[in-house]
Amino acid sequence: MDRGLPDDYTVDTAIALAVRAPSVHNSQPWRWLRGDRSLHLYADRDRQLHETDPEGRDLLLSCGAALHHLRIGFAALGWRAAVHRLPNPAEPDHLASIELRRHEPTQEEVTLAAAIPRRRTDRRWHSSWLVPNSYLELMTGRAADEGTVLRVCDDAARYYLAKTVVAAAEQHTADPAYRIELAAWSGRHLSADGVPAANVPPHDETPGALPGRPFADPGLPQPAGSTGEESEEVLLVICTASDDRMSQLRAGEATSAALLTATSLGLATCPLTEPLEIADVRRTVQERVTGGAVPQMVLRVGWAPINADPLPATPRRDLAEVLRPLDPAITSDRGR
């Protein structure tokens, strides 16, 4: 890139960090265009999971997480991203236009950027250690910086949230089209997308355990000596005041902020969107758990058992597939 913006190596490095963001079923539903003066994030509708995510909520959350990863990556590299979200009403899939300015990285930005390559979705049992309140407060504050509310679910809120997780799992289990799509996107071994078999533990038979998605061909053992009965975890819900596309995009950014904060503190994390993918179940979460605020993301957080093996990184598509130059024949740096 020219005109005083970062060189191509810096941009490629930041995009490589951005695409490490979590996405529903590791579908990676984003495209990046590089102009002369700015970068542009687009939703890739060809990668929307129409049975899992018929409304495109998970897609926007995934892209929001990638946008926050990009901001953090550039900040650690010495560039502040000025983001114009949903810049073109005529192009609903144009999610953000990003301009860059010189910036001195803060310790927080460097710490969060360093957490990007280490973050994993860990679906295994947690240990019996409690998560300190100070850690939850830090995650809450960083989610608030993204314009959202992160609620810790205790007592009745946790009870009702657990019931909705079960209800959503039961509805999905009864849906053959959903099960076919889930099988198609999981049990992967050599693919650059989808959920790898090596990152999924077997179904948890522990009484009262939250049901996970029944991904195909689970190949990740639980840590030796650990049990589901001892697993101590915190359930968090990221909420917004409204439910428009901007709110969903910002909730994705808040998801990234919370996950990277937790990773930097040594916590194991797992995003849960299944109870929010079905409209009637989502309404129950809103009424019984979040007090009327719109639930956008559920996070499961805890400490991995001391003998838990490190998780392998989930694969990502080549940068050449997701980052392309903006076509000057169409327009130049649209949305600025």
Q: Residue 238 pairs with which residues in a beta bridge?
A: 150, 297
Same fold, 8-118+317-325 and 133-302: yes
Average pLDDT over residues 56-85: 98
pLDDT tens digits, 268-311: 999 999 999 999 999 999 999 999 999 999 999 999 999 999 99
Report the distance separating Cα 197 and Cα 216, nearest Å: 7
Is residue 52 scored above 60 in pLDDT?
Answer: yes
pLDDT tens digits, 112-121: 999 999 999 9
Percentage of the chain lying above the pLDDT 90 cut: 90
| pLDDT value of position 334 | 52
Is residue 4 scored above 50 in pLDDT?
Answer: no
pLDDT tens digits, 181-230: 999 999 999 999 999 999 999 988 888 889 999 999 999 999 987 888 88
Query: Do the strands 30-34 and 323-325 form a parallel or antiparallel pair, or are they unpaired?
Result: parallel
CATH 3.40.109.10 fits 133-302, yes or no: yes
Report the distance separating Cα 22 and Cα 44, nearest Å: 15
* Domain edges within the chain: 8-118+317-325, 133-302
CB 316 within 8 A of CB 28: yes
| pLDDT value of position 327 | 79
| Alpha-carbon dihedral sign for residues 87, 106, 236, 155 | negative
Nearest to 275 by CA among 264, 290, 285, 265: 285
Percentage of the chain lying above the pLDDT 70 cut: 96
CA R_g for the chain: 19
Is residue 335 scored above 60 in pLDDT?
Answer: no
Identity of residue 21: A
| pLDDT value of position 321 | 97
pLDDT tens digits, 227-251: 888 889 999 999 999 999 999 999 9
Report the distance separating Cα 111 and Cα 116, nearest Å: 9
- Model's pTM, two decimal places? 0.96
Q: Tokens 């710490």 identify what position?
A: 111
- Residue 3 pLDDT grade (very low, low, confident, very high; cuts 50, 70, 90): low
| pLDDT value of position 36 | 86
* 8-118+317-325: CATH number: 3.40.109.10
